[in-house]
Amino acid sequence: MRDSLDDQLDALDADLVAMTTAVRFSLARASAALLEGDIEAGELVISGDTVIDAARESCEADAFSLLATQQPVASDLRRVVAGIRIAGDLERIGDLAVHVAKLARMRAPEPAVPETARVMVAQMASVAEGMLESVAIVLGTHDLDAAVALLTQDDELDGLYRSTFRRLLSDQWPHGVETAVDIALLARYYERTGDHAVSIARRIVYQVTGEVPLG
Amino acid sequence: MRDSLDDQLDALDADLVAMTTAVRFSLARASAALLEGDIEAGELVISGDTVIDAARESCEADAFSLLATQQPVASDLRRVVAGIRIAGDLERIGDLAVHVAKLARMRAPEPAVPETARVMVAQMASVAEGMLESVAIVLGTHDLDAAVALLTQDDELDGLYRSTFRRLLSDQWPHGVETAVDIALLARYYERTGDHAVSIARRIVYQVTGEVPLG
């Protein structure tokens, strides 16, 4: 039964959902390393990235063999091509989690994020992680409402990104250049995570409706 | 004749080379806006990004129709799937050029890059642009030596990236937080451009040799 086109397509979707969960855990661990000084969690993120890379290769290989053996057309073909791109977005989110974990490690045992900026960064981390939960739902259910809700989450993340930069660049910024550069990069990593999540949601909407969605 | 598989594959490659050239011009213009205060060049980058986005969509549509109508297998299939991913990398380089141009615009009429950091940023811009020239050669010729040479260019770019951060974070940094954050982000945009160029080269090597290349 595993050989039918539908089964193979479902298996590809299931692999993408599993990969999303792995990437979400990775980002959560990286944020714990950053914000709670959980060094072990950070090391797991860095060493575990090869597993995420392998998952991406495996999704791509499955899609590839599906294209070669089943020669899907129309919406099935769209689904396979979307799967290849989505696996690429997820791998990239995994890389961003590694960046967060490495920044935490570079500053340890000092916290990379000073107390005054902690809430701001924690909010970005939390919204980004929530977006990955939504991505798993969108991938698993193809629920268009959940895909649209992701856009609202991304607006929130962009708002946090902008207010982080306003804080960094204000005259009241109480820390030095190094901390400012660290926080700017961290803000960018979380914001890029959100962009990749939105990109995945758009692909699912396109796959389901055939229309490029959401402005 | 345009309907044969080989012709369609060649047309896809030609579109990718053209897209690479467009992206290279875009990055060169963004760097001119940044380093020479060429405001008009910067505006062209920002307004012209829709053309690059459209080129990506067109490459993807061509690949898609090729998959649906020709049902390629083996190395031909690999080439089409690589084309889809490469168009995605090129679009992203276009986005990075827009980030550079917007940063230049945000600080205008003041230069975003102060005189003391100018050479450093100009070197990164120049290496990144050179990498895009190499990408066009690799895409057009499938020359493996050119693909490997891209790795050397990327090492140079990574070295410049690291030394930029050392400068920013040293006690001798003569500028404030805002300039440090700007330069850190700019360094990252150029470094990411290099990563995407390497990613394209790897895909071409994989496509030609069937092996994942280059460490």
> Residue A72 belongs to a domain with what CATH number?
1.20.58.220
Q: Render pLDDT for A21-47 as a digit per residue (tens, 0 to 9).
A: 999 999 999 999 999 999 999 999 999
Work out the average pLDDT over B177-189: 96
ipTM value? 0.91
Specify if A214 maps to a domain. Answer: no
Q: Render pLDDT for A180-194 as a digit per residue (tens, 0 to 9).
A: 999 999 999 999 999
Residue A211 confidence class, pLDDT cut points 50, 70, 90 = confident
Confidence (pLDDT) at A2: 52
Task: Return the top range by mean pLDDT from A63-77, B68-82, B115-129, B199-213.
Answer: B115-129
* CB pair distance less than 8 Å for B181 and A184: yes
With 80 as the cut, is the pLDDT of residue B210 above it?
Answer: no
Chain B contact for A73, CB < 8 A?
A: yes
List chain B residues with CB under 8 Å of A202: none
> In this structure, what is the dihedral angle of CA atoms B21, B27, B32, B37, given to the nearest 10 degrees?
140
Confidence (pLDDT) at A209: 83
Confidence (pLDDT) at A210: 77
Chain A contact for B180, CB < 8 A?
A: yes
Structural domain including B53 reads 5-209
Residue A1 confidence class, pLDDT cut points 50, 70, 90 = very low
Specify if A155 maps to a domain. Answer: yes
CA pair distance A197, B147, nearest whole angstrom = 31
Chain A contact for B168, CB < 8 A?
A: yes
Of residues A68, A165, A177, nearest to B77 (C-beta): A68
List chain A residues with CB under 8 Å of B165: 181
- Based on the structure, what is the number of domains in chain A? 1
Mean pLDDT of chain B, nearest integer: 93
Specify if A64 maps to a domain. Answer: yes
Could you tell me which of B95, B94, B108, B82 has the C-alpha nearest to residue B9?
B82
Residue B4 falls in which region: left (phi positive, over 0), alpha (psi -120 to 50) or beta = beta
Q: Render pLDDT for B55-77 as a digit per residue (tens, 0 to 9).
A: 999 999 999 999 999 999 888 99
Could you tell me which of B112, B196, B132, B192 has the C-alpha nearest to residue A188?
B192
Confidence (pLDDT) at B21: 97
Specify if A215 maps to a domain. Answer: no
Chain B contact for A85, CB < 8 A?
A: yes
List chain A residues with CB under 8 Å of B181: 165, 168-169, 180-181, 184
List chain A residues with CB under 8 Å of B60: 81
Specify if B215 maps to a domain. Answer: no
